[in-house]
Structure 1
Amino acid sequence: MNYIYETMYILRPDMGEELTEQAIAKYQKILRDNGAEPVDTQHRGKRRLAYEILNYREGIYIQMNYQAPGTVVALLERAMRLSDEVIRYLTIKQEVTEPKAEPAASTATATATPAPVAV
């Protein structure tokens, strides 16, 4: 079963723009090569961290949304864990739900006229 995942990761702040783009492309490639469907990436920019991580007070925030099997997430997180450029990451899983059709009776009650009010 496929799930929708959101992975947020923080890159070191001392990486230049070119290295940041290379890191983003590397993680997108891991997802696409292993069957992730639409990979939507948002570059959130450099922000101050809530607390110091590995002697860094700032980090470059990146968010990726994608749909994939669970094994792909394990590969992505392993690559991030072994990398020196990622200082934190978090993946959130949401189950894909099919939209439910509304019963025809509910539309009939929605168009009914309201009862008169006694004064």
Structure 2
Amino acid sequence: MPLYEHVFISRQDLSNTQAEGLIEHFGTVLADNGGAVVESEYWGVKTMAYKINKNRKGHYAFLKTDAPATAVQEMERLMRLHDDVMRVLTIKVDGHEEGPSVQMQKRDDRGDRGDRRERR
């Protein structure tokens, strides 16, 4: 089955448990349609670059899935209809990377970028 990565933003006035409940809800939608969530991450509340529906912040969530296209289309349709979900991004990938995503890694673990003060 094809591999996908999804990021969605939900409203800032939800609690953390409600936002994480959305991840479980959309995971069950995939499972009901023959797909599976390989890994999910809750990134927390982050400030957005611009306002969306009068919100400056939102709960970010990330899903790695292994699902047929029809299951992904149904999940996206339900996400777009859900009142708490503001934005959805789905990308088809060749393979999932191992370990946590870049958003979940500590700043020190992101590689050898050097100290910014040394660039002068």
Could you tell me the TM-score, scaled by structure 1's length?
0.74
8 A contact 1:28–1:39 mirrored in 2: no
Aligned residue-pair number: 95
Alignment-derived partner of residue 64 in structure 2? 65
The amino acid that maps onto 1:79 is L
Once the two structures are superposed, residues 24-71 of structure 1 have per-residue CA deviations (whole angstroms, 9 ceiling, x without a partner) of 211111111212134310001100001110000001000000111111
Q: How does 1:69-88 map to 2 (within 5 A)?
A: 69-88=68-87
Give the match for residue 24 of structure 2.
Answer: 25
**Range moving further from structure 2, 24-33 or 35-44:** 35-44
SS of residue paired to 1:79: helix
Give the alignment's TM-score, normalised by structure 2. Answer: 0.74
1:103 — aligned with what? none
Does residue 2 of structure 2 align to residue 3 of structure 1? yes
Amino acid at match of 1:60: H
Q: Separation in 1 of the partners of 2:43 and 2:83? A: 20
The amino acid of 1:16's aligned partner reads S
Distance 1:18 1:95 in 2: 31
Structure 1 runs of 4+ aligned residues shifted over 3 Å read none
Aligned ranges 1:34-113 → 2 under 5 Å: 34-95=33-94
Q: 1:17 to 1:91 in 2, by over 3 A?
A: same
Q: CA RMSD in A?
A: 1.3
Larger Rg: 1
Contact kept in structure 2, 1:34 and 1:72, CA below 8 Å: yes
Segments of 5+ residues of structure 1 without an aligned counterpart are 97-119
**Aligned residue identity for 2:62:** Q
